[in-house]
Amino acid sequence: MKRRLLLTLAIWMGLGGAGLLALSPAHAQPRYTVPSEQLQEAVAQKFPRRYPVGGLLDLTLQTPRLRLLPELNRVGAEMAVDAAGPALAGNSTGIFDVDFALRYEPSDQSIRAHKLRVNSLRLSGLPPGPAALLEAYAPAIAGETLLEVVVHRLRPQDLMLADGLGLEPGTITVTAKGLVIGFVTKQPR
The gap from C-alpha 20 to its chain's centroid, in whole angstroms, comes to: 19
Report the percent of the chain where pLDDT is more than 90.
42
pLDDT value of position 4 = 43
pLDDT score of 30: 78
Is residue 179 pLDDT above 90, yes or no? Answer: yes
Least-confidence region, from 19-33, 35-49, 51-65: 19-33
Average pLDDT over residues 83-110: 88
Q: Do residues 10 and 21 touch, judged by C-beta distance below 8 A?
A: yes
Least confident range of 20-24, 54-58, 88-92, 130-134: 20-24
Question: What are the DSSP calls for 131-150, one per residue?
Answer: HHHHHHHHHHHHHHHTTT-E
Cβ proximity of 189 and 150 under 8 Å: no
Whether the Cβ atoms of residue 181 and residue 33 lie closer than 8 Å to each other: yes
Segment among 63-67, 125-129, 159-163 with least mean pLDDT: 125-129
Which phi and psi angles does 69 have, rounded to 5°? -120, 75
Quick one: pLDDT band at residue 16, thresholds 50, 70, 90? very low
Q: How many other C-beta atoms lie within 10 A of the C-beta of residue 128?
A: 7
Chain-centre distance of CA 61, in angstroms?
16
Domains belonging to the chain, first-starting first, are 34-157 (3.15.10.40)
- pTM beyond 0.85: the answer is no
